Amino acid sequence: MARALSPRRLWLTTAAAWFVALLIFFPVLWMILTSFKTEPSAVAMPPQFLSADWTLENYAEVWARSDYPRFFWNSVVISVGSTLLGLLIAIPAAWAMAFVPGKKTKDLLMWMLSTKMMPAVAVMIPLYLLFQRMGLIDTKIGLVVALMLMNLPIIIWMLYTYFKEIPGEILEASRMDGATLWGEIIYVLTPMALPGIASTMLLNIILAWNEAFWTIVLTTTKAAPLSAFIASFSAPQGLFYAKLSAASAMAILPILILGWFSQKQLVRGLTFGAVK
Residues 155-174 interacting with another protein (rule: CB under 8 A): 156, 164, 168, 171-172
Which one among 76, 80, 84, 127 touches another protein, defined by CB under 8 A? 127
Closest distance between another protein and the C-beta of residue 15, in Å? 9
The amino acid that residue 57 corresponds to is E
Q: Does 231 bind another protein (CB under 8 A)?
A: yes
Q: Does 176 bind another protein (CB under 8 A)?
A: no
Pairwise CA distance, residues 54 & 134, whole Å = 49
DSSP string covering 79-112, please? HHHHHHHHHHHHHHHHHHHHHS--TTHHHHHHHH
Options 50-58, 76-84, 190-198, 240-248: segment touching another protein (CB under 8 A): 240-248
Binding mask 56-95 for another protein (x = CB under 8 A): ---------xx----------------------xx-xx-x
Closest distance between another protein and the C-beta of residue 8, in Å? 13
Pairwise CA distance, residues 14 & 5, whole Å = 11
Which one among 22, 56, 141, 186 touches another protein, defined by CB under 8 A? 22
Among residues 204, 106, 189, which one has the least CA distance to residue 152? 204
Kindly report the number of other CB atoms within 10 A of residue 50's CB atom: 5
**Cβ closest to another protein, residue 77 vs residue 139:** 139
The H or E element spanning position 59 is: helix 57-65
Which one among 56, 60, 130, 134 touches another protein, defined by CB under 8 A? 130
Q: Does 144 bind another protein (CB under 8 A)?
A: no
Task: Please give the residues from 184 up to 223 whose contact with another protein meets the rule CB under 8 A.
Answer: 206, 209-210, 212-213, 216-217, 220-222
Beta bridge mates, 37: 54
Closest distance between another protein and the C-beta of residue 84, in Å? 15
Q: Does 129 bind another protein (CB under 8 A)?
A: yes
| 188-203 residues labelled b (16+ CB within 10 A) or e (exposed) | bbeebbeebbbbbbbb
Question: Are the CB atoms for 133 and 65 separated by under 8 Å?
Answer: no
Q: Does 50 bind another protein (CB under 8 A)?
A: no
